[in-house]
């Protein structure tokens, strides 16, 4: 069974250094993350001027690669979640996330972009995670792992300097 065909929704894989399930031990955390963070949704030079534009482009990219069936529905779900509480944690990174019926499987897109902020443009790292309505356990563990990495371990200056998709993805595959 390949990583792409394993049942992600029913997996009890723990991401972030905790003891894992049978799937986690069989495939390893890195291989599970490769499935969650595919190379084609890592966008090191996203051309967006606002945070909303960036989210819209990231969701459209996910749809272009078949991970989201309805970009408008997914974006509505994401913005509804963002209205409850924003995921912008400082002026350098955001961790937006939601569950959506238009999402086929757990997916994380990573983008580095320069966004308009008052009178200047600031680099921002956006790590967007969309989950299907089922599979809450893996979604929450993955999100927790990303948050822990970004809040406690990440060298944001170095991450914001990365302009190569493979290098940016590798950081998140091994965090």
Helix (H, G, I), strand (E, B) or coil at 122: strand
Question: Would you state the pLDDT for residue 27?
Answer: 46
Alpha-carbon dihedral 47, 91, 16, 43, rounded to 10 degrees:
0
Q: Domains in the chain and their CATH numbers?
A: 16-26+39-173 (3.40.930.10)
Q: Can you tell me the distance from the alpha carbon of 63 to that of 72, in angstroms, rounded to the nearest whole number?
A: 10
Going residue by residue through the chain, which has 175 residues, state the pLDDT in tens, using 9 for 90 and above: 323 333 333 333 334 443 444 444 444 556 678 889 999 999 999 999 888 999 999 999 999 999 999 999 999 999 999 888 878 776 788 999 999 999 989 999 999 988 876 555 677 899 999 999 987 788 888 888 898 888 887 788 888 888 889 999 988 887 7
According to DSSP, the β-strands at 107-117 and 120-131 are antiparallel
Q: Is the pTM of the predicted complex or chain greater than 0.85? A: no
Q: Can you tell me the distance from the alpha carbon of 160 to that of 173, in angstroms, rounded to the nearest whole number?
A: 16
Question: Would you state the pLDDT for residue 124?
Answer: 86
């Amino acid at each position: 069974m390949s990583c792409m065909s394993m049942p992600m929704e029913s997996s009890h894989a723990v991401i972030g250094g905790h003891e894992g399930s049978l799937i986690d031990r069989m495939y390893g955390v890195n291989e599970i993350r490769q499935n969650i963070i595919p190379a084609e949704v890592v966008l090191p030079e996203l051309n967006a001027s606002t945070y909303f534009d960036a989210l819209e482009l990231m969701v459209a990219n996910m749809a272009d690669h078949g991970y989201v069936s309805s970009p408008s529905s997914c974006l509505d779900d994401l913005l509804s979640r963002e209205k409850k509480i924003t995921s912008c944690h400082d002026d350098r990174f955001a961790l937006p996330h939601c569950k959506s019926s238009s999402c086929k499987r757990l997916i994380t897109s990573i983008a580095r972009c320069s966004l308009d902020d008052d009178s200047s443009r600031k680099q921002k790292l956006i790590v967007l995670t969309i989950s299907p309505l089922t599979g809450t356990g893996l979604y929450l563990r993955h999100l927790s792992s990303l948050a822990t990495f970004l809040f406690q371990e990440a060298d944001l200056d170095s991450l914001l300097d990365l302009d190569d998709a493979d290098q940016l993805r590798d950081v998140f595959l091994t965090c």
